[in-house]
Amino acid sequence: EAMIASPECRSYYSLNNFRSILDFISNLL
């Protein structure tokens, strides 16, 4: 949990999640 709470990991996870969503949308179009 400590790793997930750290700002660096959270921003990295958010960026990764954002790219995953973009890929998902691209597949729908």
Q: What is the pLDDT of residues 1-29, one digit of tens each?
A: 555 557 777 777 888 899 999 999 999 98
pLDDT at residue number 19: 93
pLDDT at residue number 14: 83
Tally of CA atoms within 13 A in the half-sphere of 27 that contains its CB: 6
Q: Alpha-carbon distance 22 to 26, whole Å?
A: 6
